[in-house]
Amino acid sequence: MKPEAVDARVDLHTHSDHSDGTLTPTQLVELAAQRAVQLLALTDHDTTTGCASAAEACRTHGIQFLPSCELSSTWRGRELHIVGLRVAPDTPQLVEHLRSVRALRVARVQAIGERLTRCGLDGAGLIGPVLASPGTPTRLHVARALVAAGVVADVEDAFKGYLGRGQRAAVPPAWPTPEACIEVITRAGGLAVLAHPHRYKLSAGALRELCSQFREHGGAGIEVSLPGMGPADAAQAASLARRCALAGSLGSDFHEPGLPWRPLGRWLKLPDGITPITQLLGFTPAEAPQPA
Ligand code: AMP
Ligand code: MN
Ligand code: MN
Ligand code: MN
């Protein structure tokens, strides 16, 4: 499969400190500018609050910006993520959706705190600062609090021992359905993209069903190129995109500069036979500088 390279750096999946990233939107855009990113989407979990300042910084740096978000969804008892690219943040249905998901998130973190207490830990002390911060509260915040308190060595251990599916302090969430997420994204003028399909531990058959339902309900794309996708994962995502007529999206899922395996800014390289999501977004790359 020959990658189709376009002379543009595009990153359509990134996080700031408005959810579980560590950089402010402005710092994120500065890093994107250093990496010569031409098209950037800020896709914080279940919020668009960082998009105004990211847009402003992108204007300064001449980067094309897409206000976006990554919505949490539950399908057959599993958590799925759906990226909404180029949404209008003020759309009433989207605002209401994000408000209600935030309430679910607060209740979930509180329930996680109670479970941590039952594990003999200071649950209230661990989750207090998570709930006090203005951004979207996530399990990654709780994981970082467990690391800071010396309960676990690193975030990975926090998920393995406490927060991951089936672990001691896990609270299975009941997020909105994929249909509801697609609808709210579409009403906000955005394109719904199934995020990181390789991470769901679904069988090949279940993934095919998911993608065909996703398309039927108005989904526009699927992520086909992300760090951490091995060749087999990438081939499977590409085949799902072709089979279900979904456009291919890509990004870094950047959260923090300390994790070099998710570097901000990617070259747009898609396998043959896939419509780049950038085409649906009307993006045209700037001319690459000619050698002198
Ligand atoms: P939540 O949306 O509250 O369920 O939190 C999930 C977030 O935690 C994801 O967006 C990831 O950034 C992070 N995460 C999930 N699993 C892991 C893991 N095993 N190791 C590190 N981070 C994780
Ligand atoms: Mn995250
Ligand atoms: Mn995700
Ligand atoms: Mn993400």
Question: With a 6 A CB cut-off, is 73 part of the ligand 1 pocket?
Answer: no
Clarify whether residues 67 and 211 are in a common domain: yes
pLDDT tens for 109-122 read: 999 999 999 999 99
pLDDT of residue 284: 83
How many angstroms separate the alpha carbon of residue 286 from the centre of ligand 2?
30
Q: Are 93 and 176 in contact (CB under 8 A)?
A: no
pLDDT tens for 81-97 read: 999 999 999 999 999 99
Clarify whether residues 245 and 261 are in a common domain: yes
- Look at residue 171 and tell me if it is in a domain: no
pLDDT of residue 259: 84
Clarify whether residues 65 and 198 are in a common domain: yes
Q: Are 138 and 105 in contact (CB under 8 A)?
A: yes
**Residue 10 corresponds to which tokens in the numbers above?**
């595009």
Distances (CA, A) of 161 to 95, 138, 167, 256: 35, 17, 6, 22
Q: Are 289 and 12 in contact (CB under 8 A)?
A: no
pLDDT of residue 216: 98
Give the residue numbers spanning the domain of 117.
97-163
Question: Residue 42: nearest ligand to its CA?
Answer: 4
Q: What gap in Å lies between CA 274 and CA 280, rounded to an integer? A: 12
Which among 62, 38, 35 has a CA at the least distance from the CA of 285? Answer: 38
Q: Tell me which of 140, 141, 223 to substitute to probe ligand 1's pocket, judged by most ligand atoms within 8 Å of the beta carbon.
A: 140
Clarify whether residues 85 and 128 are in a common domain: no
- Look at residue 213 and tell me if it is in a domain: yes
Clarify whether residues 75 and 211 are in a common domain: yes
Last residue of a domain, one of 114, 135, 163: 163
- Look at residue 182 and tell me if it is in a domain: yes
- Look at residue 170 and tell me if it is in a domain: no
Q: What gap in Å lies between CA 94 and CA 96, rounded to an integer? A: 5
Which residue owns the Cα nearest ligand 1 atom 22? 140
Clarify whether residues 196 and 273 are in a common domain: yes
Residue 42, domain CATH: 3.20.20.140
Clarify whether residues 158 and 211 are in a common domain: no
Distances (CA, A) of 139 to 16, 67, 110: 15, 24, 11
Q: Tell me which of 139, 142, 253 to substitute to probe ligand 1's pocket, judged by most ligand atoms within 8 Å of the beta carbon.
A: 139
Q: pTM above 0.85?
A: yes
Clarify whether residues 190 and 264 are in a common domain: yes
Clarify whether residues 215 and 273 are in a common domain: yes
Residues of the chain predicted below pLDDT 70: 1-7, 268, 287-292
Residue 155, domain CATH: 1.10.150
Last residue of a domain, one of 105, 135, 163: 163
pLDDT of residue 64: 97
Question: Residue 137: nearest ligand to its CA?
Answer: 1
Clarify whether residues 32 and 112 are in a common domain: no
Q: How far from chain centre, in Å, is Cα 105?
A: 16
Last residue of a domain, one of 107, 131, 163: 163
Question: With a 6 A CB cut-off, is 170 part of the ligand 1 pocket?
Answer: no
Clarify whether residues 268 and 182 are in a common domain: yes
Clarify whether residues 59 and 199 are in a common domain: yes
**Residue 27 corresponds to which tokens in the numbers above?**
């710092």
pLDDT of residue 154: 97
Q: What gap in Å lies between CA 36 and CA 150, rounded to an integer? A: 38
If one counts the domains in the chain, the total is: 2
